Amino acid sequence: MLTIADKTFHSRLFTGTGKFGALAIMEEALLASGSELVTVALRRVDARAHKNGSEEDQLLKYLRHPRLHLLPNTSGVRNSREAVFAAELAREALGTNWLKLEIHPDPRWLMPDGVETLIAAEELVKRGFVVLPYIHADPVLCKRLEEVGVAAVMPLGSPIGSNKGLKTADFLEIIIAQSRVPVVVDAGIGAPSDAARAMEMGADAVLVNTAIAVSADPVKMAAAFRLAVESGRMAFEARLAPVATEAVASSPLTAFLD
């Protein structure tokens, strides 16, 4: 079981709500994933007040399940000031102080801004938020965020939406080795095998959205990720065999007819 701040999770697979073809499919996929924490862009929720009955309004209805906790995110903000403002709106609108803090000033590459994230994180922790910052796989930044009191760190595996997998593995290893808060690998996980690998490395959880949402069969893919995350965690606990540089046969090799 994974504990972050005041919540305990049976599932180490966190999910998102973007890019699904239909809300009913999204709901079914989220349930199939076994996920207990799902991130929602504040923008989609906030619109509710203005456009009653709209698609955005509907979103929350599909997310009302006893097991499912919401993790509002600040996607779309460009600096710490906007992030703090968005966080307060989210707390009010959704009645939760949990927050996925993401700040990416550049609309093309969507890379997170670590400096602004640190400033916002410090302020939001003071304001009573449970902050999970989405950041580059930068070991020093992760430590500094830990020092200002974030509840977990969410380093990226590769550029968001790229499905490229764990390109930052060498740095994730350092982050995992030195972190005192849970490490959730976010962004870039394109296949269950990527999720399994992150868990095998010792990540505490992974967040997957695009890879499930844009699959030809999101419900089946969600179930596949569920198994992969469980598998990777078990492998971490059972400890992987070391990678060998010379071949070692698993069957006896004394020549058969000798």
Within 125-184, the residues that bind a copy of itself by CB under 8 A are 136, 138-141, 143-144, 158-164, 167-171, 174, 178
> What residues numbered 93-112 form the site for a copy of itself, per CB under 8 A?
102, 104-112
Indicate the burial class of 180 (C-beta count within 10 angstroms; 0-12, 13-18, 19 or more). exposed
Please answer whether residues 79 and 88 qualify as being in contact, where contact means their C-beta atoms are separated by less than 8 angstroms: no
For residue 184, the minimal CB distance to a copy of itself (Å) is 15
Residue 161, annotated ligand binder? yes
CA distance 125 to 92: 16
Among the listed residues 12, 16, 26, 122, the single contact to a copy of itself using CB under 8 A: 16
* Smaller CB separation from a copy of itself, 48 or 136: 136
Q: What are phi and psi of 244, to 5 degrees?
A: -95, 150
Assigned token pair, 195: 């999720």
One character per residue 60-99, x = contact with a copy of itself (rule: CB under 8 A): -------------xxxxxx---x--xx-------------
Q: Are 58 and 251 in contact (CB under 8 A)?
A: no
Residue 97 in marked binding region:
no
| Closest to 124 in 3D by CA, of 98, 104, 143 | 98
Contacts of 30 (CB under 8 A, 6+ apart): 15, 17, 38, 63, 65, 68, 222
* Residue 170 CB, nearest approach to a copy of itself (Å): 5
Minimum CB distance to a copy of itself smaller for 6 or for 135: 135
Dihedral sign from CA coordinates of 122, 128, 132, 134 = negative
Q: Catalogue the active-site residues.
A: 100
Whether residue 162 contacts residue 171, with contact meaning beta carbons closer than 8 Å, is answered with no
CB of 121 to a copy of itself, least distance (A): 11
**Cα–Cα distance, 72 to 95 (Å, whole number):** 10
By CB under 8 A, the residues from 30 to 49 that bind a copy of itself are 39, 41-44
210 is annotated as contributing to ligand binding: yes
71: nearest Cα among 159, 7, 127: 7
Shortest distance (Å) from residue 64 CB to a copy of itself: 20
Give least dist CB 154 to a copy of itself, A. Answer: 13
8 Å CB contact between 204 and 183: yes
Alpha-carbon Rg for the chain, nearest whole angstrom, is: 19
Instruction: Compare residues 36 and 113 and give the one whose CB is closer to a copy of itself.
Output: 113
Q: Judged by CB under 8 A, which stretch of 3-11, 91-99, 124-132, 185-193 contacts a copy of itself?
A: 185-193
* Interface pick for a copy of itself out of 1, 52, 128, 243 (rule CB under 8 A): 243
List the interface residues with a copy of itself, window 186-225 (CB under 8 A). 190-194, 196-197, 200, 209-211, 213-218, 220-221, 223-225
Task: Could you list the residues known to form a binding site for 1-deoxy-D-xylulose 5-phosphate, using ranges.
Answer: 161, 187-188, 209-210
